[in-house]
Amino acid sequence: MARRTRSALLENRTNRLKLALRKKPYTALIAPGIFLAYRRNAGPGTWSVKAHGWLKRFALADDHEEANGESVMSYWQALEQAKRLARAGEINSDTPITVGQAVNDYELDLEMRGASRHNASNVRIHLGLLATKTVALLTERELRDWRTALIAKNLKPASADRVARSLKAALSLASRNDHQRITNDRVWRNGLKRLPDTEVARNVVLPDQTVIALVHGAHEDNRALGLLIEVLAETGARESQVLRLRVEDLLDKNPAEPRLLMPRSRKGRIRKVEHRPLPISTRLASLLRENAKGRDQHDRLIDPIYKVSDKFRVVTKRLGLSAEITPYALRHSSIARQLLKGKATALVASNHDTSIKMIEQHYGRYITGDPSDALTRETLLDFDKPPTMERVA
């Protein structure tokens, strides 16, 4: 029986996690001309095969969760998979990537960055024959027809637009990974432009009591769902940001003034991780600390929930609320609530990881207490006073 190639650096997860973070992968020669490559990331590492001048990522490493032999692999599973891929010629420099493969890579990238894999899985459900198309040969017409077909199948325009945006992210990632051959990025930028008025319906601002009812309703249905919804409602953060929170991001040494170090949204780009400290209530801090029991400092603080929108819809239906209310309405409501309480536009924008321009464009009607407003008000004339004619110098 042939001996399997060992690697003191890579075969043990404890040793892998001691490696320095870096873009260049660590490699182990596993067969003539074939290397197993491991990239150390802030989140779980990734396995790739390097052979004949190309490098292809194929799975996450079992750094933080048990291997399943498919999307998450141990060293030994990755070793055998790397050999199969290299020798079977399933991937090589002459094989162009398809849309389906681009979505698979996007899903791995999302998980590597601690984001929800739902964005990729939701696209995959709707791909159909588009999955077999070569990315480098896509046309604007094909992409427009694909999105139109989604709407024809009774998908709401706003929902079709969200699926299309996720597909654009997957195609853009494919282009960055193979920029020499995939040069038609204008195709999805133009072919999948946002449909008119699809964002308006989502800007639902809820009364405070409705937000409270939704949080309590979510807790009644499911403990994990309740915690996620409460964090979204209190911080106004995006779900992708909340799911990147680690136990170490809960700052509650001062129990009277707890905070969360909320990661900034990377919006599809790989960039330096930045955080914004956000005040949270003592109630939420207590719930989060309880949820963190038994977890390491680098473990997730909030558990991801599959199809959270569907589970949230069960709560809204039970409360007799409109079906158009999604978890994102909690973000809109948080922004509007802070503006209505007179918080400066710049502060609200920073708290919600967005720009002043976006706040003014979409929430201008709620801006009532900007500091500049009071200064301007001091200059207004009082026309109730009788005029006194004064000589003008």
* DSSP secondary structure string for all residues of 109-160: HHHHTT--THHHHHHHHHHGGGGGSBGGG--HHHHHHHHHHHHHTT--HHHH
Q: What is the pLDDT of residue 283?
A: 93
Q: What is the pLDDT of residue 94?
A: 53
Q: What is the pLDDT of residue 164?
A: 92
Q: C-alpha angle 292/293/295, rounded to 5°?
A: 70
Q: What is the pLDDT of residues 170-183, one digit of tens each?
A: 999 998 887 777 88
CB proximity list for 278: less than 8 A, separation 6 or greater: 235, 237, 259, 260, 261, 262, 351
Which of 369, 29, 381, 329 shows the shortest CA–CA distance to 158?
329
**pLDDT above 70 coverage of the chain, percent:** 86
Q: What is the pLDDT of residue 91?
A: 46
Which of 92, 97, 168, 106 shows the shortest CA–CA distance to 136?
97
Which of 82, 76, 83, 94 shows the shortest CA–CA distance to 58?
82
Is pLDDT above 70 for 119? Answer: yes
Own/partner pairs for 224-230, CB < 8 Å, 24+ apart?
Answer: 224/303, 224/305, 225/305, 225/308, 225/311, 225/312, 225/315, 227/287, 227/288, 227/291, 227/302, 228/302, 228/303, 228/305, 228/308, 229/312, 229/315, 229/327, 229/330, 230/284, 230/287
pTM for this predicted structure:
0.57
Region class of 294: left (phi > 0), else alpha (psi between -120 and 50), else beta:
left
- The per-residue DSSP string of 184-229 comes to -HHHHHHHTPPPTTTTGGG-----HHHHHHHHHHHHHH-HHHHHHH
Exposure class string for 226-247: b at 16+ Cβ within 10 A, else e: bbbbbbbbbbbbbbbbbbbbbb
| 329-347 average pLDDT score | 91
The token pair at 23 is 């873009």
**pLDDT above 90 coverage of the chain, percent:** 39
Q: What is the pLDDT of residue 57?
A: 82
Q: What is the pLDDT of residues 346-361, one digit of tens each?
A: 999 999 999 999 888 8
Band (pLDDT 50/70/90 cuts) for residue 118 is confident
Q: What is the pLDDT of residue 137?
A: 79
Band (pLDDT 50/70/90 cuts) for residue 293 is very high
CB proximity list for 167: less than 8 A, separation 6 or greater: 99, 103, 123, 143, 188, 192
Is pLDDT above 50 for 321? Answer: yes
Is pLDDT above 70 for 267? Answer: no
The token pair at 285 is 């801090």
| 116-141 average pLDDT score | 87
Q: What is the pLDDT of residue 111?
A: 75
| 189-197 average pLDDT score | 82
Is pLDDT above 50 for 270? Answer: no
Which of 293, 262, 289, 288 shows the shortest CA–CA distance to 275?
262
How many residues comprise the chain? 393
Q: What is the pLDDT of residues 15-61, one digit of tens each?
A: 999 999 988 899 989 888 888 999 999 888 999 988 777 787 888 99
